[in-house]
Structure 1
Amino acid sequence: MNLFCNFRVFIRLNSHINSCVFSRCLSTGDVVFVPRKLPFRVPKETFSEGQDPFVRSTNKPQNNGNQESSDSNIFSYSNISTHDLKINDNLPDVGGIEENENTIYIQFDGTEKKNRKDAEKQKASELSPAKAAAMNVRDSLRSETVTSSKNTGFDSKGFKIYTDTVPDLKRVPPAKVTSILKSRIIYNEGEILAIDKPYGLPCHGGPGVVNNIEELLPRLARMLPGQQEDLTLHMVHRLDKETTGVMLFAKTEEMKLKLQAMFRNHVISKKYWVITVGVPEPNKGMLDIPMIEKEVEGKHRMSLKPDIGDVYKNLWQKKSRSFGTKAVSKFRVLDDNGTAALVEVQAVTGVKHQVRCHMAFGLGCPILGDHKYSHFNKIAPQKLPVEMLQRFRLRQAKVRTMPMHLHAHQIFLPEIYQGRNLSITTRLPQFFNKNLSYLKLKVS
């Protein structure tokens, strides 16, 4: 059969997906996601770029040979309903956004904090010698405290513990956390505010939650310079507690509704940088696999629910009547060392835990430190390869102390201000950068 002469089929056994595989055309390099263990056929017209929503070209030379099979029993894409598979192809691609004069670029690199420290040093030099000496003693005591706390990041056998590499904002007073948020403001113009969200701060309250962004917004609004006293900040979208990076807020109810509508219509482009355990194969592509919430060991989390079409609907579990929520993610590998990779993920849709679930169960490469999505049928600490443990000087018994490496690197708002685009980018957290150096992964 001609099919197997032109396609190589990869079945991700380690991802435990019982009904989804992807195929790559050896002649064109196109990647197609299809149901697993089901006979299938790709129509001839799909080899022309743009004819089929499943196919994404990788710019390889095209072969004009006949790809069509004559077997009438072979499964065809025409049997799959593509109603839930159409996406907004007008979004910027994963490869980057073209620079033009209509785009405003905002990049946060922490220079404001450094300038503030320089100002404090200059102010201290103008003080009396006695007071300056007292401040020097205070700074030396603080540095000794920090050094001693860093030295406690080892277990009894001399291996590292990574709990102290990220801040514990549970023990910080709300006023201090609000000051931290103010110092991490990236963009504050017009009716939009953007911050660089720190690690470990949830967006909403709940059992055991001491500080959360929603309750701190009134405090933050009062601390903004040059704003009205009755200013109200509105939360537009959410990031997980362990996720860092760009987060948007609106200063008016009208802007809030406008931004939320843009998120619902998948107009806003969101790019994440993650470190994965394992290297995705292929190194660039798109995942279009619906997701559904399920219960694992008494806890709720997201899982994949591939759409196998109306023809094979009886093959799915009869107890489950939901067809899942549409979830689309584009990805590309920025760098890898054979056992880990730095990956850029563009979340086309905005399903809960979409990036985490797609990377872990769709590609079989969970995010480093994501212990909730590292095992398909249980929730347990992540299992790291021996080489990664050696690079981190970490024992497998202490892997649970490793933080999650998921960073919202960039948000792109098209035509948000009088036809002009707005691109907001933020730096990687310190612990993220440090672990990149341990893994010898480079940011291009």
Structure 2
Amino acid sequence: MSEPEVRSFTVGEDDDGIRLDRWFKRHLAEASFNTISRWARTGQLRVDGKRATPGDRIEAGQTIRVPPPERAPVKPARPQRRVEPLTSDEEAFVREMVIAETPDGFVLNKPPGLATQGGTKTSQHLDRLLDGLAGDGEARPKLVHRLDKDTSGVLLVARSARAAAFFSKSFSGRTARKVYWALVVGVPSAEDGLIDLPLAKQPGTGGEKMHVDEESGQAARTRWRLVDRAGNRAAWVELQPLTGRTHQLRAHMAALGHPIIGDAKYGGAEAFLTGGISRKLHLHARRLKIDGPGDVIDVTAELPAHFAESLATLGFEPLAGDNLPLDTPDPAKDPAVKARRAAAAAKTARKARKGERRSRGAAPAKANRR
């Protein structure tokens, strides 16, 4: 079998003035930047017979000498992780979580204590159980977002990759509305407010805890409203996250001085109340409203037993939280959305200017191989 030959290309008019690495991206995208750099270091990459570097500007009519395509090294096959099939009890367990179905997804009511995804020490998790929702010949459902292990409530999973991409775009675009209920220690001094405190991973915790970091933290905003109060002892609040940072609601309420009941990670010993109040985390994803590829999904999830019992013990009316109106988001006012739109506008402007420069020259021609 003969060895592949050195290749030679002529720079077309439409590539006049661009960097050499950009030319590769347009015409030989299979050559990685590291490969191109190695060719340059070893003198194998040449323009009009002279050694070239990836950052050199090229001109129409020049000849680019390119080494033969490299054969990808054969990688040893990775051992496949053995996935234990679900038991009949596990299949029944995950199906009992389903509170709504659409052609595009399942809406679950995740119980507290069940992790959304696996980890080093987590073998039982929702992601593993999703096989139990796939019917004959159907694809395995895909996670779209997640809840903390001890947080209960609404969780959406997609039936297909297309639906997952659509839902993910709704979450990242801030058009999905998520409403959480929480019982917190003490009573906030106002009826409602916006917590706008950047969050970052707390050093020394292995990334498992967040803290407020005004200098280098990521933007994090939470809208909150007071539903009811039990004297000065505790309050029932509605939380609407406007961003999606790790442990955002828990860290924000602790920073406000009112940690969520049962949240030892962020509230310490002060996060627990006496008088028969459960020591479990009192944070529940009550409602999710999101546009689907088909219909709008708007679902509420019933409270877990410990949360419902605490409401009764503190004298709260169980359905009072559902009487508050759902905020309608305005993406145009979201800083993250503004930044993405500004970047997209700048990119469009750059392309327009580049097109104007090209139109002043000769008619574009494709790169010719000879």
Q: In structure 1, what is the Cα distance between the partners aligned to 2:271 and 2:264?
A: 11
Amino acid at match of 2:248: Q
User: Is 1:187 the equivalent of 2:107?
Assistant: no
Q: What is the CA deviation profile of residues 112-162 of structure 1, one whole-angstrom value per residue up to 9, with x for unaligned ones? A: xxxxxxxxxxxxxxxxxxxxxxxxxxxxxxxxxxxxxxxxxxxxxxxxxxx
Q: Which residue among 404, 407, 410 is the counterpart of 2:287?
A: 410
Amino acid at match of 1:209: T
Which residue in 2 is equivalent to 1:78? none
Which residue in 1 is equivalent to 2:313? 438
Amino acid at match of 1:404: L
CA shift for structure 1 position 298: 6.4
Could you tell me whether the CA contact under 8 Å between 1:369 and 1:404 is conserved in 2?
A: yes
CA shift for structure 1 position 174: 5.3
Q: In structure 2, what is the Cα distance between the partners aligned to 1:229 and 1:368?
A: 44
Q: Which residue among 406, 422, 427 is the counterpart of 2:302?
A: 427
- TM-score, normalised relative to structure 1: 0.50
Which residue in 2 is equivalent to 1:354? 248
Q: Say if 1:370 and 1:221 are closer, same or farther in 2 by CA, change over 3 A.
A: same
Which residue in 2 is equivalent to 1:71? none
- Aligned residue for 2:169, secondary structure, equals helix
- TM-score, normalised relative to structure 2: 0.59
Q: What is the CA deviation profile of residues 361-415 of structure 1, one whole-angstrom value per residue up to 9, with x for unaligned ones? A: 1x110011111111xxxxxx42258xx41x227xxxxxxx81101100000114x
Q: Which residue among 273, 276, 299 is the counterpart of 1:392?
A: 276
User: Is 1:324 the equivalent of 2:231?
Assistant: no
Which residue in 2 is equivalent to 1:239? 147
For 1:88-237, list aligned pairs within 5 A.
Answer: 175-222=88-135, 228-237=136-145
Q: What is the CA deviation profile of residues 89-117 of structure 1, one whole-angstrom value per residue up to 9, with x for unaligned ones? A: xxxxxxxxxxxxxxxxxxxxxxxxxxxxx
CA shift for structure 1 position 286: 0.7
- Aligned residue for 1:407, secondary structure, equals strand
Q: In structure 2, what is the Cα distance between the partners aligned to 1:266 and 1:260?
A: 10
Q: In structure 1, what is the Cα distance between the partners aligned to 2:204 and 2:312?
A: 35
Q: Say if 1:350 and 1:297 are closer, same or farther in 2 by CA, change over 3 A.
A: closer
Amino acid at match of 2:105: I
Q: Say if 1:241 and 1:178 are closer, same or farther in 2 by CA, change over 3 A.
A: farther
Aligned-residue CA RMSD (Å)? 2.0
- Aligned residue for 1:295, secondary structure, equals coil
Q: Which residue among 148, 159, 179 is the counterpart of 1:251?
A: 159
CA shift for structure 1 position 290: 1.0
Q: Say if 1:187 and 1:366 are closer, same or farther in 2 by CA, change over 3 A.
A: same
Q: Say if 1:371 and 1:189 are closer, same or farther in 2 by CA, change over 3 A.
A: same
- Aligned residue for 1:437, secondary structure, equals helix
Q: In structure 1, what is the Cα distance between the partners aligned to 2:134 and 2:93?
A: 13
Could you tell me whether the CA contact under 8 Å between 1:331 and 1:344 is conserved in 2?
A: yes
Which residue in 2 is equivalent to 1:272? 180
Q: In structure 2, what is the Cα distance between the partners aligned to 1:174 and 1:304?
A: 43
Amino acid at match of 1:353: H
Q: Say if 1:384 and 1:205 are closer, same or farther in 2 by CA, change over 3 A.
A: closer
Deviating 4+ runs (over 3 angstroms): 296-300
- Aligned residue for 1:196, secondary structure, equals strand
Q: What is the CA deviation profile of residues 13-33 of structure 1, one whole-angstrom value per residue up to 9, with x for unaligned ones? A: xxxxxxxxxxxxxxxxxxxxx
Which residue in 1 is equivalent to 2:258? 365
Amino acid at match of 1:442: E
The number of residues matched between the two structures is 233
Could you tell me whether the CA contact under 8 Å between 1:341 and 1:441 is conserved in 2?
A: no
Could you tell me whether the CA contact under 8 Å between 1:174 and 1:211 is conserved in 2?
A: no
Which residue in 2 is equivalent to 1:116? none
User: Is 1:383 the equivalent of 2:270?
Assistant: yes
Q: Say if 1:343 and 1:325 are closer, same or farther in 2 by CA, change over 3 A.
A: same
- Aligned residue for 1:383, secondary structure, equals helix
Q: What is the CA deviation profile of residues 336-373 of structure 1, one whole-angstrom value per residue up to 9, with x for unaligned ones? A: 11210111000111111110010111x11001111111
Q: In structure 2, what is the Cα distance between the partners aligned to 1:202 and 1:174?
A: 18
Could you tell me whether the CA contact under 8 Å between 1:289 and 1:327 is conserved in 2?
A: yes
Give aligned-pair identity as a percent.
Answer: 30
CA shift for structure 1 position 440: 1.7
Q: In structure 2, what is the Cα distance between the partners aligned to 1:272 and 1:350?
A: 13
Q: Say if 1:269 and 1:180 are closer, same or farther in 2 by CA, change over 3 A.
A: same
CA shift for structure 1 position 442: 2.4
Give 5+ residue unaligned stretches, structure 2.
Answer: 1-85, 321-370
Q: In structure 1, what is the Cα distance between the partners aligned to 2:221 and 2:93?
A: 34
Q: In structure 1, what is the Cα distance between the partners aligned to 2:205 and 2:157?
A: 35
Q: Say if 1:267 and 1:297 are closer, same or farther in 2 by CA, change over 3 A.
A: closer
- Aligned residue for 2:296, secondary structure, equals strand
